[in-house]
């Protein structure tokens, strides 16, 4: 992955938030050893902060891997909260469960194996947060599925929305994944019921606040 943020700045930010859970550190070492693309501690904390700022209790993750992002959301929802972990690979799902149990967060997490865009259809919501980190070509579909399942005042949080900078390539040079990300970004900024910002942290994180369409455009009839 091409780095968007200057390496020295990334490292400075990393040093500011050093105190962390030993299980989380082990998960980071596991990701580094296998080059698995986790959201990392900076984006992890952003997820936790957004979740806590809205008192999130119910989170759906589309694309959870071995459970790194799940750890952050599970921290945020507190005891009695729920995070739905989804991954297409049963082995990743089982591995996530073992990490999350080891971290003492077991009762807060529910596991689903399958294509997140299919699994979420079983869940009408409303969720406080839907987190998107699936295959990038599927981002536009994921956005549509998430939009109808997040409550007003909740968030869609989406990873990799700057996609190593490939979002600035001319359309003719974009592959299917890059087209998925750029379409997602256009849709997320254009939607009348979303207020979206992309934070250029790590690979770009979109924060989409779900609003009522009338709130965004006061001239519209409620």
For Mg ion, the binding residues (CB under 5 A) are 133, 159-160
State the Cα–Cα distance between residues 139 and 181, nearest whole angstrom: 6
Burial class (CB in 10 A: 0-12, 13-18, 19+), 65: buried
Residue 70 binds to ligand DHB (criterion: CB under 6 A):
no
* CB of 37 vs ligand DHB, minimal distance in Å: 3
Contact status: 32 vs ligand DHB (CB under 6 A): no
DSSP letters, 152-170, are EEEEEEES-SSGGGGGGS-
Q: Is 37 in the site for ligand DHB (CB under 6 A)?
A: yes
> In sequence order, what are the residues at sequence separation of 6 or more whose Cβ sits closer than 8 angstroms to the Cβ of residue 105?
71, 74, 75
87, 112, 128, 203: residue in contact with ligand DHB (rule CB under 6 A): 203
Segments in 40-89 forming alpha helices (H): 40-53, 68-77
Nearest-CA neighbor of 80 among 66, 59, 49? 59
* Among ligand DHB, Mg ion, none, residue 1 binds (CB under 5-8 Å by kind): ligand DHB
Choose between 58 and 159: whose C-beta lies nearer to ligand DHB. Answer: 159
Q: What minimum distance in Å lies between the beta carbon of 204 and ligand DHB?
A: 10
Question: Does 87 engage in binding with ligand DHB (CB under 6 A)?
Answer: no
Distance of closest approach, residue 37 Cβ to Mg ion, in angstroms: 5
Those residues with Cβ within 8 angstroms of residue 154's Cβ, 6 or more apart along the chain or in another chain: 54, 56, 126, 127, 128, 129, 130, 209, 210
Instruction: Say if CB 83 and CB 109 are below 8 A apart.
Output: yes
Per rule CB under 6 A, count of chain residues that contact ligand DHB: 6
Among 58, 61, 128, 159, binds ligand DHB (CB under 6 A): 159
The one among 69, 160, 174, 178 contacting ligand DHB by CB under 6 A:
160
Cβ burial of 49 (10 Å; 0-12, 13-18, 19+) is exposed
Structure letter (DSSP) for residue 36: -
Q: How far is the CB of 181 from ligand DHB (least distance, A)?
A: 10
Q: Is there binding between residue 128 and ligand DHB (CB under 6 A)?
A: no
Smallest gap from Cβ 158 to Mg ion, in A, equals 9
Nearer to ligand DHB, 65 or 81 (CB): 65
Q: Which of 61, 87, 112, 133 binds ligand DHB (CB under 6 A)?
A: 133
CA nearest neighbour of 161 among 22, 43, 9: 43
Which residues make up the interface to ligand DHB (CB under 6 A)? 1, 37, 133, 159-160, 203
């Amino acid at each position: 992955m091409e780095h968007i943020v200057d390496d020295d700045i990334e490292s400075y930010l990393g040093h500011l938030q050093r105190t962390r859970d030993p299980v989380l550190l082990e998960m980071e070492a596991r990701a580094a050893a296998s080059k698995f693309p986790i959201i990392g501690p900076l984006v992890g904390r952003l997820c936790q902060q957004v979740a806590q700022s809205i008192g999130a209790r119910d989170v759906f993750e589309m694309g959870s891997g071995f459970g790194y992002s799940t750890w952050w959301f599970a921290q945020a929802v507190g005891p009695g909260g729920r995070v739905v972990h989804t991954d297409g690979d049963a082995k990743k799902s089982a591995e996530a469960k073992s990490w999350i149990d080891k971290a003492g967060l077991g009762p807060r997490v529910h596991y689903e194996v399958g294509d997140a865009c299919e699994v979420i259809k079983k869940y009408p919501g409303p969720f406080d947060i839907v987190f998107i980190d699936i295959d990038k070509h599927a981002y536009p579909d994921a956005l549509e599925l998430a939009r109808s399942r997040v409550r007003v005042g909740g968030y869609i949080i989406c990873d990799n929305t700057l996609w190593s900078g490939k979002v600035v390539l001319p359309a003719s040079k974009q592959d299917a994944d890059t087209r998925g990300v750029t379409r997602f970004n256009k849709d997320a900024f254009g939607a009348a019921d979303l207020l979206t910002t992309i934070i250029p942290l790590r690979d770009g994180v979109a924060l989409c606040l779900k609003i009522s369409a009338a709130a965004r455009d006061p001239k519209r009839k409620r």
